[in-house]
Amino acid sequence: MERSHHLTASLYFGIAALEAFLNEKMRAHLKTTKTDGEILNVLRKGDIVRKLKKWPTEILGNPLSLSDGTLELLTDFNTVRADLTHPKTQGHDIYAKLESIDPSSVVDVVAEYIVKYHEAAGTLYPYWIFGWNYLNPRPDSYEIFIINEQQFSFSLQAIGFKVPASSHAQAEAWRSNYLGHFEGYVEIRDALRGLDRCEPKFDRFPFKPVLCRQWWMSDHHRSCGHVTTEALNHALSHDV
């Protein structure tokens, strides 16, 4: 039941995130030529699958260069989501389809679509597409904090990646390459997935927002940014 709950949530939020994203882009595209009422009618028409297939071309002038099978997966996910929302049968067949879904594939195709859209538009995709968020520490709590891509560059540098965050020209080129293209997204995504640590905390700046890989877990907040097993093992290996 818990697995089904999380799978259902991933489908609902994944598809909703894509539709909200495309609605926002279409609204911005139409705001100079249509009234608010006319724009609302456009946003209400058509299902999400049509929007996924047609709207990038309408907005950007070209279709997205998606990986083979991405649109088919998104279509299948939307079908399962619709069956769960409006069940047509009383059997277990809906949940059988749900249980066959790999939850990581939902995350991957939603992220790919958004990144590929930004790539086609010539804009930077948001750093939170990696699933990491900034924790903004308070004396007795934490809150999620949205920050800019420049600070994200410094955070990756603090974690240990070779990012030229301090040089303005080099940092701009790095962000254009890694935060503006799908290949750069994949490289950062895979590197972040291999970590067992978050951005380290600094004693001099106890309330500085830090990039966290498990921001949704309250128990993790107590140790976020502290010494990790990897760091301890590395230190011990040099002990004499």
Are residues 141 and 108 both part of a single domain?
no
In which domain, by residue range, is 182 found?
128-237
pLDDT digits (tens, 9 = 90+) for 125-150: 999 999 999 988 776 667 888 999 99
Give how far the C-alpha of residue 118 lies from the chain's centroid of Cα atoms, to the nearest Å: 13
Listed residues 92, 107, 122: the one ending a domain: 122
Are residues 98 and 133 both part of a single domain?
no
Are residues 81 and 175 both part of a single domain?
no
Are residues 140 and 106 both part of a single domain?
no
Are residues 116 and 155 both part of a single domain?
no
Are residues 103 and 23 both part of a single domain?
yes
How far apart (Å, rounded) are the C-alpha atoms in residues 140 and 123?
Answer: 37
Task: Give me the phi and psi of 133, to 5 degrees please.
Answer: -140, 165
Evaluate if pTM is beyond 0.75.
Answer: yes
Are residues 19 and 57 both part of a single domain?
yes
Q: Name the token pair of 119.
A: 């790539």
The answer to whether residues 37 and 133 touch, using CB atoms and an 8 Å cutoff, is no
Percent share of the chain, pLDDT over 90 = 64
The answer to whether residues 215 and 160 touch, using CB atoms and an 8 Å cutoff, is no
pLDDT digits (tens, 9 = 90+) for 88-115: 766 667 778 888 888 899 999 999 999 9
Task: Give me the phi and psi of 128, to 5 degrees please.
Answer: -70, -5
| Sheet with 210-212: strands ordered across | 141-145, 133-138, 210-212
Instruction: Specify the number of domains making up the chain.
Output: 2
pLDDT digits (tens, 9 = 90+) for 45-94: 889 999 999 999 999 999 999 999 999 999 999 999 988 887 776 666 77
Are residues 17 and 95 both part of a single domain?
yes
Listed residues 101, 122, 143: the one ending a domain: 122
